[in-house]
Copies of this chain bind each other. A is one copy, B any other.
Amino acid sequence: MNWVVAVDLGGTMIKGALVNERGETLAVQEQPTQTFKGRDYVLEERLLPFIEGLIETGSREGLRARSIGLAVASPLNPWEGILYNPPNFPGWGVFPLLSYLRERLSMEIHMDNDANLFALGEWLWGAGEEKSPLVGLTLGTGIGGGVVYDHGRLWHGAHGTGGELGHITIDMDGPPCNCGNKGCLEAMASATALVRWVEGYLREGRASTLSLGANAQDIALAAQQGDPLALEGFKWIGRNLGVGLASLANTFDPQLMVLGGGLSRAGMLLLSPALEEFRRRALPLQRDSIKVKLASLGKMGGVLGAAILAFSKEGNPGKEGGRL
């Protein structure tokens, strides 16, 4: 059995594991990224030791790990491994992460955007059932997107940064987005958008069991316990999400759309208003034929997608007979 080292470098946490061709994991681990300490610290004290630790574990266990797959929470050029001003890593600028790592590691390494690899992970080993095209969305602090087509290829576009599905406009005069635009899906259907929406009403004095400082998880809990403001908040972001899903369905005509990220753990609280709006808006063929599902790999989607990337670059399909 072949193994790879697979790592997901996020703005908050670094996650990783040793992964084999069946998607089985060993030595799953997680550490804070501590981006506030700056680029050199994150690279030298966090990322490199994290990867080296996994390589060593692999050797100790006698596993033949031959390459590394890396998911990064950044717009990037996947062919050259260059990060483009990652909002989650302030001050990194345009940074050639791949060549930095290649100079320091003894193993071949490949990288891609974390939402792309989330989509790839779910496609092969998660809720995706190898259906293609598949549209994946990670609903968290922001919204990331990935498109799998032709049975395992990732849509990169001309410059490597395609699939920025959080930055489709759903309301051209809507609330401002971190990207500088207005009314992006990310500004209206992310965890951050939900928290802001609830905060706005709390400041206006709306009755609720919630108080200022509540995060998306608190809001989900309050909604499950019947808090009217929290329930209304989920209806609002759910509806917005449904508008985005309809646009993506009409654009890509996928077989399947998979929703992951922290906010997706709210389950039907989010999915039910989203599906209602999606069905109201999508073109008839798309409405009747496209499935929308919750992700099934939890926090491991990016790590497992990174493993699939590494296997595919070895010319080694991630699954018997699968073409990647």
Chain B residues whose C-beta falls within 8 Å of the C-beta of A131 in the assembled complex = 158
Query: Are A246 and B169 in touch, CB under 8 angstroms?
Result: yes
Interface membership of A283, Cβ < 8 A: yes
Chain A 154-170 near chain B by CB (<8 Å), digits 1 or 0? 01111111111101111
Interface membership of A84, Cβ < 8 A: yes
Alpha-carbon distance A254/B243, docked complex (angstroms): 23
Interface membership of A173, Cβ < 8 A: yes
Chain B residues whose C-beta falls within 8 Å of the C-beta of A157 in the assembled complex = 133, 252-254
Interface membership of A313, Cβ < 8 A: no
Number of interface residues of A (CB under 8 A): 49
Smallest distance from the beta carbon of A241 to chain B beta carbons, Å? 11
Of the residues B173, B251, B284, contact of A162 by C-beta under 8 Å? B251
A240-B172, A285-B84 known; A162 vs B247 contact (CB < 8 Å): no
Chain B residues whose C-beta falls within 8 Å of the C-beta of A69 in the assembled complex = none
Interface membership of A215, Cβ < 8 A: no
Query: Are B283 and A250 in touch, CB under 8 angstroms?
Result: no
Query: Are A281 and B164 in touch, CB under 8 angstroms?
Result: no
Chain B residues whose C-beta falls within 8 Å of the C-beta of A286 in the assembled complex = 159, 161, 164
Alpha-carbon distance A251/B167, docked complex (angstroms): 8
Query: Are A251 and B289 in touch, CB under 8 angstroms?
Result: no
Interface membership of A296, Cβ < 8 A: no
Of the residues B164, B243, B254, contact of A283 by C-beta under 8 Å? B164
Query: Are B158 and A133 in touch, CB under 8 angstroms?
Result: yes
Alpha-carbon distance A182/B75, docked complex (angstroms): 31
Interface membership of A181, Cβ < 8 A: yes
Taking A85-B284, A157-B253, A167-B283 as given, write out 20 further A-B residue pairs in contact, using a Cβ cutoff of 8 Å, ordered by the A residue number: A75-B285, A84-B284, A131-B158, A132-B158, A133-B158, A133-B162, A145-B251, A159-B286, A161-B285, A163-B253, A164-B250, A164-B253, A168-B251, A170-B170, A170-B172, A172-B243, A179-B283, A181-B280, A181-B281, A182-B281
What are the 5 tightest A-B residue pairs by CB atom distance, in nearest-first order?
A157-B253, A162-B253, A158-B255, A167-B250, A168-B247
Can you spell out 5 A-B residue pairs with CB atoms less than 8 angstroms apart?
A131-B158, A156-B253, A167-B247, A168-B168, A169-B247
